[in-house]
Amino acid sequence: MLDQGAAPPVVETATPKTSALGALVRRKPVEALVAEGGQGEGGTLRRSLSMWQLTMISIGATLGTGIFVVLGDAVPKAGPAVTVAFVIAGLTALFSALSYAELAGTIPVAGSSYSYAYATMGELVAWVCGWCLVLEYGVSVAAVAVGWGEYLNELLDGTIGVTLPDVVSSAPGEGGVINLPGLIVVLLAMVFLLGGARESAVINTVMVAVKIVALVLFCAIGFVGFKSGNYKDFMPLGMAGVGAASASLFFSYIGFDAASTAGEEARNPKRDLPRAIMLSLLIVTVLYVLVAAVAVGAWHWKAFDGSEATLAAIMNDVTGQTFWGTLLAAGAVISIASVVLTVLYGQTRVLFAMSRDGLVPKVFGKVSGKTGTPRVNTVIVSLFCAGLASVIPLGKLVDATSIGTLFAFGLVNIAVVVLRYTRKDMDRTFKVPFGPVFPLLGLLFCAYNMFSLDAVTWKVFGGWMAAGLVFYFLYGMRRSRLATAGSAAPAEK
């Protein structure tokens, strides 16, 4: 056991120098990753999370804006076949979730797919993966916060008859100056996270229970207005429309991997992380398909175009009253806030792991001795995400988040195969069935969804990756702890 505040171990070799190419492919041994678990600058993360709390973190990070808000954008693309789009997106998530579950049980650390890539494919690929996770978590926090504001307005309208004016509730370019609700919800999540991981997990569990009840209530009431005729023109825009919707709806599944970022704060990570990942994805997928099927049955697919707070509007229409829609909006306000909380948590832990490896500044790795959390890291990330949420429209954030996540998931599917062949001796508490077949399918599904996104999203992704590579070559490559230790870590056998 390492002393509190001690520098994490680095495995060294007798090789005095590393070539430029060798630096890019140097790998961090799994043993070193696991041994330094929880260790940060000045303190140690606390192991306090149970399997149930890990599952709730995963559901909390997944179940939210994707079904409450993005559904309204996806139905006009796919028509009633939006249910098929959800299944395709869910299969993409499933195959990747299996790979995550195996690696989370084998390498239970905070870095998630970044750390898995570091142990299997080398430092450059790990950096690229970590940079994608920054895009996934950081930008999705902002996207979710923007969606939260739509339901807040619905709640205010149903309870006190007023709504926030566009000038303070919409991004520039959409009739506003600043999205104040998006800014506020991120800052509230920051306050909860600063209190500690266990305390935040308790709050999240309550919010997750509220969101599940809200969605079950929607299904029960929405089914009353179900019209089978709404399914006659099932795939009006063909498979191209379904593919486009699936790529956007993949945003709805982002977050199941949040449990893997809690690897250094889980009580029994090798056992509990795989279980939490798979259980959360099962619950979320069932709810998504059920809600989408009821929603399209209650409303003709063309009615979704341009709608906001879609589920609340459907409930108002079906019942002829505003009470039920207002009640759902209240549940959505609470549930979407839990997504902000848990995804923001995941972002801080990924940066914590990258900082410990020297690839980003040390400030992100400092741990408070009082709360056992990376407090400065949390404040910096929260302010950045709050700034994005206050000025960037939802649609642009959703697609940027999806492409970064799909890329990172693809790397995880590769990593699990690499580790199977390079470290056959390792103890695995969970194994992806059918050898390399399922990880390969996961990789292909990720590629399919990535290429279904539009050219603008690819340009944004290309610019983001270029900026990340510049940062790595100017900063991370030289300051990497594997580099400053004077040698590269040995390749895994």
**pLDDT, tens digit, 9 for 90 and up, residues 40-49:** 676 677 777 7
To 10 degrees, what angle do helices 82-106 and 238-249 make? Answer: 40
Compute the mean pLDDT over every residue in the chain, rounded to the nearest whole number. Answer: 80
- Statement: residue 52 has pLDDT above 70: yes
CA distance linking residue 172 with residue 271, whole number of Å: 47
- The reported pLDDT for the residue numbered 466 is 93
- The reported pLDDT for the residue numbered 397 is 60
What is the band of 9 on the pLDDT scale with cuts at 50, 70, 90? Answer: very low
- Statement: residue 470 has pLDDT above 90: yes
DSSP secondary structure letter of residue 1: -
- Statement: residue 344 has pLDDT above 70: yes
Residue bearing the bigger pLDDT, 406 or 174: 406
Output phi, psi for 453, to 5 deg: -80, 155
- The reported pLDDT for the residue numbered 20 is 61
Q: Do 100 and 260 touch, CB atoms closer than 8 A?
A: yes
DSSP secondary structure letter of residue 257: G
CA distance linking residue 333 with residue 3, whole number of Å: 42
Residue bearing the bigger pLDDT, 158 or 479: 479
- Kindly report which listed range (93-102, 236-245, 260-269) carries the lowest average pLDDT score: 260-269
Q: Strands 43-44 and 39-40, how do they pair?
A: antiparallel
In order, the DSSP letters of 219-244 are HHHHGGG--GGGGSS--TTHHHHHHH
- The reported pLDDT for the residue numbered 469 is 92
Per-residue model confidence as pLDDT tens digits over 254-307:
777 777 777 777 888 888 888 888 898 888 888 888 988 898 888 888 887 766
What is the band of 394 on the pLDDT scale with cuts at 50, 70, 90? Answer: low
- Statement: residue 17 has pLDDT above 60: no
Taking Cα atoms as reference points, which of 52, 109, 126, 332 lies closest to residue 213? 332
What is the band of 18 on the pLDDT scale with cuts at 50, 70, 90? Answer: low
The arithmetic mean of pLDDT across residues 381-390, rounded, is 85
- The reported pLDDT for the residue numbered 393 is 65
- Statement: residue 474 has pLDDT above 80: yes
CA distance linking residue 274 with residue 237, whole number of Å: 38
- The reported pLDDT for the residue numbered 174 is 66
What is the band of 486 on the pLDDT scale with cuts at 50, 70, 90? Answer: low
DSSP secondary structure letter of residue 40: E
Report percent pLDDT > 70 for the chain.
87
- The reported pLDDT for the residue numbered 38 is 64
- Statement: residue 69 has pLDDT above 80: no
- Quote the tokens at residue 461: 């992704």
- The reported pLDDT for the residue numbered 36 is 75
43: enclosing H helix or E strand: strand 43-44
